[in-house]
Amino acid sequence: MLRAFLAARTGFVCRPHVAPGSKSGINRCVGISSTSRPTSPIRINLHNARAWVETIAPSLQTFLTLEKHLLVPLRFTVPYGDTKWPEKTWGYPLGLYCKNLRALKQQGKSLPFFAVDDLEALDFPWDMRQRKWDVLVLPSLKRYSELNGHCEVPAKYVVPTGDDAWPKLLWGFKLGQTVMSVKYAGTYKAQREGAQEELEEIGFSMKGWRIRMWEAKIFPALEAFKREFGHCNVNFNFVVPDSDEWPKATRGLRLGATVANIRCRGNYDDMTARDKDKLEAIGFTWSPEDDRWTYKIMPAFETFQQVYRSGWVPVDFVVPDEEPWPEASRGLRLGNTFMKVRHTGAYSSYVERDRERLDQLGVDFNADITSVQALKAEYL
């Protein structure tokens, strides 16, 4: 009798019961609702050898074959009438059995001797949290990072079912919800601390959203902008293009609008204060008007004086695209700018700031008509 039992137990692992065309996915079995017949509740007996051989072991093997893991949900019951499962397993509360079996081990009690070898062969998960981390959470984070170039997972993100870019095992996994639990509820704390280096490599951070946004997207985008254009004066309408010259995590970012809010509303003020030296190193422009006056208009006035020996700029004068004119000033409608300053008071704060230098150049925005006529004649 004992020999017959042992033979049956040993052979079970090699006899999976699977129907053709079955699909796999993390939530498929989680959502199965048993079409339960009106029967009395099945009693769970951890030490019943017959139940193990005829029902429990085949249930575990079938679950593993279908789902590629043994993370059996607590409420999972083998569905009645499902031909993918052996008939003797229909209606068995497999999730509750697994919970009770783990509790037995955690209490330091002996496991059923007839199940030990099979459980080892199945690689039964005694630590559900660690197994979920190893099988679902960390692989999902790594794949998300590979596909998106960052690990900023939206709170409602669910791994898409049927998407071949993802392993089937992960389909339907609520990654966004899990990430929120990791960050704000301390879930998987031990696992997270143990995988710190791996998480850093894929850009997963426990820092607040603003800090992550600044470090993963905004500042890298500013650095790339400087490399691409040679300056860091970002215009309002600029959106990071989807091209290899830009970090993957930054693509699609409305960098111009973000910079405008940094300048005018003080957004990310703690980050800009912390990284003040880095911003200076890439020439971040806090005031476009200041930048335009300092690096385009004033150098153009200085060169105009050198070329024409005059401080009066005709309204139709445009800085030519040639030497000795500064590259930053070329194409500037300097005459138009001169008249705006003269008639509308544009750049008034900068005019006052650079009053001494403007006087040295002979630039007088308030010159009377007689002086203007003389200056015009001199230019012509």
What is the band of 3 on the pLDDT scale with cuts at 50, 70, 90?
A: very low
Q: Across the chain, what does the average pLDDT equal?
A: 84
Q: What pLDDT is stored for residue 333 in this prediction? A: 93
Q: What pLDDT is stored for residue 347 in this prediction? A: 83
**Cβ pair 59, 118 in contact under 8 A:** no
Q: What pLDDT is stored for residue 14 in this prediction? A: 44
Least confident of 71-80, 97-106, 170-179, 294-303: 294-303
Q: What pLDDT is stored for residue 204 in this prediction? A: 87
Q: What percent of the chain has pLDDT over 70?
A: 86
Find which of 22-31, 51-60, 264-273 is predicted with most confidence, using mean pLDDT. Answer: 51-60
Find which of 37-46, 59-68, 259-268, 279-288 is predicted with most confidence, using mean pLDDT. Answer: 59-68
Least confident of 20-29, 206-215, 312-321: 20-29
Average pLDDT for 298-303:
90
List pLDDT tens digits, range 152-184.
899 899 999 999 999 999 999 999 999 999 988
CA-based R_g, the chain, Å: 36
Average pLDDT for 322-331:
90
Q: What pLDDT is stored for residue 54 in this prediction? A: 92
**Cβ pair 49, 112 in contact under 8 A:** yes
111 pLDDT above the threshold of 60: yes
Average pLDDT for 331-357:
88
Average pLDDT for 70-86:
92
List pLDDT tens digits, range 210-230.
888 898 899 999 999 999 998
Q: Which of 113, 129, 80, 74 is nearest to 96 (CA)?
A: 74
Q: Which of 295, 314, 299, 287 is nearest to 358 (CA)?
A: 299
List pLDDT tens digits, range 243-293.
999 998 899 999 999 998 888 888 888 889 999 999 999 988 887 787 788
What is the band of 376 on the pLDDT scale with cuts at 50, 70, 90?
A: low
Q: What pLDDT is stored for residue 113 in this prediction? A: 92
Provide the whole-model pTM. 0.50
Average pLDDT for 1-13:
46
Average pLDDT for 313-323:
92
